Amino acid sequence: MPPTDASPPPLSLISVDEARERVMWRARERPLGLETLDLAAALQRSLGEDVFVPLDVPAFANSAMDGFALRGEDLPADGERRFALVGTRLAGDGREAAVGPGQCLRITTGAPLPQGADTVVIKENVRVDGAEVIVAAGEMPGGNTRAAGEDYRRGELAFAAGTCLTPARLGALASFGLSRIAVARSPRAVLLTTGDEIVAPGEALQHGEIYNSNRYSLGALLRREGVELLRSEHVRDDPAALRDALQRAAAEADLVLSSGGVSAGEADFLPQLLAQVGSVDFWKVRMKPGMPLLFGRCGAALVFCLPGNPVSGMATFLALVRPALEVWAGRDPLAAGRWYARLAQPLQKNHRRAEFQRATRECRSDGTLWVTPRPQQGSGVLRSVAEADCLIFLAEAPQSLQAGDCVEILPLS
């Protein structure tokens, strides 16, 4: 059932699927709107509106090769035939031109077909004898030409809203004569990393301190998803400082992402603070790693408070933050389909939570995709995800899987 502002108290220990549904619902509640960009600035952005083709592409029948344009009905069925060469047409030449029976016109790739012509014989397949061109049997009528509208026809749907603008799609839009395009506005985010033990890279470590890796891994994930990262801020484990940082971030961003301070320890203040300054949709998800995920709102911003363990943070981002970003981009997070691979070794899961295991994948010579779990799966072992290229998703309930069994995987790149 979709959440409402009059919902009962926040859910706890919900499934990954239910958490994803609630996240996507909240994202749909608050669309970010559109902005118009020059095509050159729209790479990897999501189309904000359906694009219908405004003209035939190509707009005129033209030659696909350098050669000689003529009438297909004049081609010889056997032997050879001489054609009178009546002129030359280069690409970009829009002047009137025509060929009659037994005539041909020298033509270059992309040049409009002259009136009367429907065939081009490439220059390598003819002999030129003064003002005549000799064509042998074996050529096909209609060969080496491109019809008007062969690529796109006027009025057809070229790209639906939500389509990611790749280099080829930008080229197609340019071929329609478009120079600017409406795209989904990029979400604006603030990243908060928390913890008294956290130190910025480059500073000297004292005993008990660790470097702030989450600022860089989570910040990179945000940027890779097309998010405008307004700033990153480190906040100590102090309720007043955390409250202030959370409210300031929510006032300027669409998305507030934090790491740490979200479990049930003595210094984990965020669950109580988010309930005070905003609202909580759910706290804790039946997944490993990443169970103590907190999700809610503060003002108009969606707030994701991720666990502080580096691997937990990345797993929860991919599983639950990215679907919200996909919704904001106008895409269906479930429409892209799922990836599957075969296990290269047995795998045992003894707990009931869903699990995301770090792994590496390999495409073998027979075309099958195989996946091997990394040896260390602890939520604080950053090396396991740094050396992985995918996550194996194991659904809830204990599982005993054998080598060769098929499993769902989530690519990291």
Angle at which helices 270-277 and 239-252 cross, to 10°: 50
- What does the radius of gyration of the chain's CA atoms come to, in whole angstroms? 30
Q: Which of 118, 86, 89 is nearest to 104 (CA)?
A: 86
Report the range of poorest mean pLDDT among 153-167, 217-231, 259-273: 259-273
Mean pLDDT of 152-172: 97
- Superfamily the domain 11-32+186-328 falls into: MoaB/Mog-like domain (3.40.980.10)
Give the separation between CA 176 and CA 53, rounded to whole angstroms.
7
pLDDT beyond 70 at 3: no
Three-state DSSP state, 3: coil
Tell me the C-alpha to C-alpha distance, in Å, between residue 79 and each of 135, 137, 343, 366.
9, 6, 63, 49
pLDDT beyond 80 at 148: yes
Q: Specify the domain boundaries for CATH 2.40.340.10 within the chain.
A: 339-411
165: left (phi over 0), alpha (psi -120 to 50) or beta: beta
Q: Which residues of 76-101 are buried (b: 16+ CB within 10 A; e: fewer)?
A: eeeeebebebbeebeeeeeeebebee
Q: What is the tens place of the pLDDT at every residue in 348-406?
A: 999 999 999 999 999 999 999 999 999 988 888 889 899 999 999 999 999 999 999 99
Q: Let me know if 181 is exposed, middle or buried by CB neighbors in 10 A (0-12, 13-18, 19+).
A: buried
- Superfamily the domain 62-146 falls into: Molybdopterin biosynthesis moea protein, domain 3. (2.170.190.11)
Residue for token pair 């979200």: 262
> What pLDDT is stored for residue 336 in this prediction?
67
Peptide bond between residue 307 and the one before it cis (omega within 30 degrees of 0): no
Ordered DSSP codes for 93-120: --S--B--TTEEEEE-TTPBPPBT--EE
Q: Specify the domain boundaries for CATH 3.40.980.10 within the chain.
A: 11-32+186-328
DSSP 384: H
pLDDT beyond 90 at 108: yes
Report the range of poorest mean pLDDT among 79-88, 160-169, 309-318, 378-387: 378-387
Mean pLDDT of 241-259: 98
Q: Which residues of 103-130 are buried (b: 16+ CB within 10 A; e: fewer)?
A: bbbbbbbebbbbeebbbbbbbeebeeee
Determine contact, residues 382/314, Cβ cutoff 8 Å.
no
Determine contact, residues 142/119, Cβ cutoff 8 Å.
yes
Q: Specify the domain boundaries for CATH 2.170.190.11 within the chain.
A: 62-146
pLDDT beyond 70 at 5: no
Q: What is the tens place of the pLDDT at every residue in 280-331?
A: 999 999 999 999 999 999 999 999 999 999 999 999 999 999 999 999 999 9
Q: Let me know if 265 is exposed, middle or buried by CB neighbors in 10 A (0-12, 13-18, 19+).
A: exposed
Confidence of residue 7 (pLDDT cuts 50, 70, 90): very low
Give the strands of the sheet with 132-136, arranged side by side.
119-122, 67-70, 103-107, 80-89, 132-136, 126-129
Q: Which of 344, 62, 311, 33 is nearest to 188 (CA)?
A: 33
Tell me the C-alpha to C-alpha distance, in Å, between residue 9 and each of 108, 174, 176, 280.
72, 51, 52, 8
- What predicted TM-score, i.e. pTM, was given to this entire model? 0.88
- Superfamily the domain 339-411 falls into: MoeA, C-terminal, domain IV (2.40.340.10)
Give the separation between CA 154 and CA 119, rounded to whole angstroms.
24
Q: Which of 373, 312, 51, 32 is nearest to 187 (CA)?
A: 32
> What pLDDT is stored for residue 150 in this prediction?
97
